[in-house]
Amino acid sequence: MLTLQWESEGLQTVGIVVIICASLKLLHLLGLIDFSEDSVEDELEMATVRHRPEALELLEAQSKFTKKELQILYRGFKNECPSGVVNEETFKEIYSQFFPQGDSTTYAHFLFNAFDTDHNGAVSFEDFIKGLSILLRGTVQEKLNWAFNLYDINKDGYITKEEMLDIMKAIYDMMGKCTYPVLKEDAPRQHVETFFQKMDKNKDGVVTIDEFIESCQKDENIMRSMQLFENVI
């Protein structure tokens, strides 16, 4: 059982942490966390995959990874995803292994959409690297921008209470029933009501990115969570 202290804003904080934890699990299951540099090639091997990634130098410029790290990441990505892309079903399979006692389907769907920045139904190596670079090595501002994009389900530039509730329910379905003490069924709605009221500064029924970032930056738990997984690779 997962033991967590569920205070008034606990589920929201966990929502931020789970974004990063789940991404690390994706790395692990793709064989990218436990690195070995014994036989790293000097350049990317691209001839055998159907999706050709951008030039290594361009990805290095667009991310916070070094050329050597990108070579290692690509080797693992290619070995596990010969087509060069990860589809939504693969995401769902990965998170079902990470949270076997819960239902991670909906959360995996939302997270997949956040990584799939061009909305073509597939996460390429470029998509993966750009998102991972922010989550692991981005500034607090960059990480919160990424998290806002996750919560902004319809990508209209605002987070509604319904969108926040959908994310919170997805997190609850994925891990809530494995916590101690066990969360009540209405816990996601209660947490959203509390946190949304704090975020929606002007009480217009939506949360802007500025309101989201300001509220998160004032939350010590969320700020600590932003630092937990830095320099993992």
pLDDT above 70 for 208: yes
Distance CA 162, CA 193 (A): 10
Distance CA 80, CA 100 (A): 21
Average pLDDT over the chain, rounded to an integer: 76
**Residue 158: pLDDT band by 50, 70, 90 thresholds?**
very high
**Do 67-137 and 140-232 agree at the fold level?**
yes
Q: What are the extents of the domains in the chain?
A: 67-137, 140-232
Share of the chain above pLDDT 70, in %: 70
More confident residue, 141 or 23: 141
Where does 67-137 sit in CATH, by number?
1.10.238.10
Distance CA 124, CA 73 (A): 13
Indicate the fold that domain 140-232 takes in CATH. Recoverin; domain 1 (1.10.238)
More confident residue, 156 or 176: 156
pLDDT per position as a tens digit, 97-106: 778 888 989 9
Count of C-beta atoms within a 10 Å radius of residue 187: 18
pLDDT per position as a tens digit, 98-139: 788 889 899 999 999 999 988 899 988 889 888 889 988 889
Q: How far is CA 27 from the centre of its chain?
A: 11
More confident residue, 48 or 184: 184
The answer to whether 173 and 104 have CB atoms below 8 angstroms apart is yes
Distance CA 113, CA 96 (A): 17
pLDDT per position as a tens digit, 26-45: 555 555 444 344 444 434 44
More confident residue, 220 or 166: 166
Residue 63 has φ and ψ, to the nearest 5°, of: -130, 180
Distance CA 89, CA 94 (A): 9
Average pLDDT over residues 54-72: 86
What is the pTM for the complete model shown? 0.75
Closest CA to 72 of 32, 108, 109: 32
**43-47, 97-101, 174-178, 193-197: least confidently modelled range:** 43-47
**What SS3 state is found at 85?**
strand
